[in-house]
Chains A and B, each alone.
Chain A
Amino acid sequence: MSEPIPSNSAGEGRENRPSLSLRRRRDFLAGRTFFVFSALPIALALIILVMLTIRTWPLLQSHSLLELLTSSEWNPEQNLFGFWPFISGTLWVTVVAVALAVPPCLLTALYLSEYARASTRMVMKPLLDLLAAIPSVVYGVWGVLVIVPLVGNYLSPFFRQYLGFIPFFTSKNPTGFSILSGSVVLAVMIAPFIIAVTYEVMATVPQGLRQASLALGTTRWQTIRYAVLPQVLPGIIAGIVLGASRALGETMAVIMVVGNVVQTPGSIFDTAYPLPALIANNYGEMMSIPMYDSALLGAALILLVIILIFNIGSTLILRRVIGRNWV
């Protein structure tokens, strides 16, 4: 019984070592698998877009796009689907939020990158991370507890009494559930984001540029204004647009403070009904009325398209400015 012992071509003491061809095959297979995985995000983005379009199609067949986007008649039972109150509500809340958030955020970012000591920066970074980590419902609770009473009891009466002649500040809404409340909450929510992007963009300006400017005897602000800012302006704008797109799609915090009345707002103290709130509030009953589901998914599609345009544009700009994608 002498069976020949199979000889090991790999050599002494190396029995467990996989051969080169096996390693290369594994490498190749893993590459293929990983490639499929990596294509998934692209596929997913397309699938979401296509699926929402397909589901909105019945609505687009029976109503003209222009009518859907510009009509203010919203009455699903009578087959009237005018999205304008919701679109304008979304725009109001977002624009006011960005207007409130941008000045303090830019100044904070400038302060952190140009003036603050290293120790201040070390403290601020985790603080911003914390602010960004707080869930949107918690912002909503804060809005209901603090911002809504503030607006309803103080700001709104004050503006009505003394500044009521300015068109955007006058309103008959007696409560604090209003565009302004939603915007304040949103402004705080997008603040860490805008600050972080701006800070990152400012950091790409070479230190030598600042030193050269300061060496000429300028003040710090002159250096920022004439040497640093012109370099990074596109990046900052892109960051603000990204922040705006976050604000645009935010649902829970807004739904809790904005009032949700179907109307086209005319003042920051009016109630509004933004698109995300429309979807969230009505999804449960959408199966009972014809075309309703189509209309709600249409609302999601409108939101998605606006955000896709915002996001792709600003991502491409940021790529140019900081040489890589923003996280």
Chain B
Amino acid sequence: MKKRWQRRHITEAIVKGFMIFSFALVAGCLGLILWTILRRGVPAMSWDMITQTPKGGFYLGKEGGILNAIAGSLYMAGGGTLLALIFSLPIALYLETYVRDSRFGDNVRLALDVLWGIPSIVYGAFGFTLMLAMGMRASLLGGIIVLTLLELPIMTRSMDEVIRRMPSDLEHAALALGSTRLEVASKVVIRQMLPGIMTAVLLAFGRGIGDAASVLFTAGYTDRMPSSLLRPVASLPLAVFFQLGMPYPEVQNRAYASALILTVIVLAISLGSRLLAGRLSKFVIK
């Protein structure tokens, strides 16, 4: 029988057309962003960029690189991620093994979601006020603390969500054999969670290393390599931001190169977390 073209079929075709167009638009934007950063960043890249600190006249377009910012960002995001992990792992385990499906657990999750939504500039302002109150100045330590606050909800909630999705039979079996909840958490659940932990940690690290607004006041900026917890430290996003603000084309080109370095780091982390999660899943009992 021949299909009669009714109005609804025309609507269907139009809507589907719009959908495919939107899909292409979204995918195209991603492509455009990556292509722009590559096209402007690659010509400005040089070995010096990643092996040198800024020399005199760097911001006028003379010699130097942004090793200070790369190192600073890695230190800060690394420290922040480590601290956040120390807090978030117990919280996630507690939410799943001790207070599963309880009112308290729901409230903690709500608080974490709210914290996740708080803009990084507000964390920055809050962190700065806190540091003023404690008599601290912009420093590596300040940056690490603010990034910890920023990363904690991201890490905890994604771990929590991973454990939620796994079947609880194994936990029940362990409990039935007489394990305490702590033993279930530390010997059974954690092993099942390994891929999830890895993904959560790398996700949080990526968020931390890319964030500029929170470290703007708390970590400051310097042309030196990070040397002490109490000294200011440079970071990649701020390096991009400041260099782009300079009126000299040479310096702006370096901003594009810095943006490229940052993008490569973040994308490598994102891809790496997928691969690692796959490898770690060998510890998971399905």
Cross-chain contact A138 with B259 (CB below 8 angstroms):
yes
At the interface, yes or no: B20 with Cβ under 8 Å from chain A? yes
CA distance A24 to B179 in the complex (A): 10
Q: How far is the CA of A304 from the CA of B262 in the complex (A)?
A: 28
State whether A307 and B19 are in contact (beta carbons under 8 Å apart), knowing that A35-B94, A146-B36 are contacts in the complex: no
Judge whether A13 is part of the interface by a CB distance below 8 angstroms: no
Task: Tell whether B118 is near chain A: CB-to-CB under 8 Å.
Answer: yes
Query: Do A279 and B25 have beta carbons less than 8 Å apart?
Result: no
The answer to whether A246 and B91 touch across the interface, beta carbons within 8 angstroms, is no
Q: Give Cα distance in the complex from A283 to B256, angstroms.
A: 26
Contact status of A307 and B118, CB under 8 A, knowing A40-B87, A137-B210, A222-B8: yes
Are B37 and A141 interface neighbours, CB within 8 A?
yes
Pick the interface stretch among B58-66, B108-116, B278-286: B108-116
Tell me whether chain B's interface is mostly helix, strand or loop, or mixed: helix
Contacts of A174 in B (CB 8 A): none
Note all chain B residues with C-beta closer than 8 A to A70.
none
**Inter-chain contact A303/B119, CB cutoff 8 Å:** yes
Q: Are A135 and B121 interface neighbours, CB within 8 A? A: no
Q: Among A27, A35, A248, A308, which residue has its beta carbon within 8 angstroms of that of B114?
A: A308
B22 touches A130 (CB 8 A): no
What residue in chain B is nearest A29 (Cβ atoms)? B182
CB pair B216–A137 under 8 Å, yes or no, is: no
A249 in complex: contacting residue of B11, B111, B112, B119, CB < 8 Å: B119
A158 at the interface (CB under 8 A from B): no
Whole-angstrom distance between the alpha carbons of A296 and B12 in the complex?
A: 51
Chain A residues near B182 (CB, 8 Å)?
A: 23, 26-27, 30-31
- How far is it, in angstroms, between the C-alpha of A134 and the C-alpha of B35 when the chains are bound? 13
**Residue among A138, A140, A221, A327 making CB contact with B15, cutoff 8 Å:** A221
Number of interface residues of A (CB under 8 A): 88
Chain B contacts for A248, CB-based, 8 A: 119
Q: Are B270 and A130 in contact (CB under 8 A)?
A: yes
The segment out of B45-53, B166-174, B222-230, B237-245 that lies at the interface is B237-245
Q: Which residues of B contact A (CB under 8 A)?
A: 8-9, 11-12, 15-16, 18-23, 25-27, 29-30, 32-33, 36-37, 40, 87, 90-91, 93-95, 98-99, 104, 107-115, 117-122, 124-126, 128-130, 149, 152-153, 156-158, 160-161, 164, 180-183, 185, 203, 206, 209-213, 216-217, 237, 240-241, 244, 255-256, 259, 262-263, 266-267, 269-270, 274
Name 17 interchain pairs, CB-CB below 8 A, sorted by A: A26-B180, A39-B108, A42-B107, A45-B115, A103-B22, A108-B22, A134-B210, A135-B209, A141-B240, A188-B29, A249-B119, A251-B121, A252-B241, A276-B121, A280-B213, A307-B118, A324-B164
| In the complex, the 5 A-B pairs of residues with the closest C-beta atoms, listed nearest first | A249-B119, A135-B210, A34-B94, A27-B180, A111-B19
